Amino acid sequence: GQNIDQPTEMTATEGAIVQINCTYQTSGFNGLFWYQQHAGEAPTFLSYNVLDGLEEKGRFSSFLSRSKGYSYLLLKELQMKDSASYLCAVRDSNYQLIWGAGTKLIIKP
């Protein structure tokens, strides 16, 4: 079956760096997405990786290793507003998105 694994919850300190991991086993691979979802709100797009390596976008970076079935989202200079759930999703061979359950990130002052 298809599976996306990410930690359920993580805690970090304001101003610090946090890495949220995502491992996947899917039928084919056509890209990996990260979305941010604040409590009670809609998911919003953060990043997209289809080739191996690091994609940087401001304070957020996303890394992909297709051979390892692994990605991470790196958040730098954490701010209180970064408290949210982070969703990992993989696009499979049928171009359907398979979603992880999300990682709830708690930022402490």
Alpha-carbon gap, residue 56 to 59, rounded angstroms: 8
The stretch near other proteins (CB under 8 A) out of 11-19, 58-66, 73-81, 89-97 is 89-97
Give the residue carrying structure tokens 């999703």: 89
Question: Contact with other proteins (CB under 8 A): which of 4, 12, 18, 32?
Answer: 4
The stretch near other proteins (CB under 8 A) out of 16-24, 59-67, 72-80, 94-102 is 94-102
Cα–Cα distance list, 61 to 23, 53, 92, 100, 107 (Å)? 16, 10, 22, 18, 18
Kindly identify the residues of this chain, within the stretch 13-32, that bind other proteins according to CB under 8 A.
30
Name the minimum Å distance from CB 36 to other proteins. Answer: 11
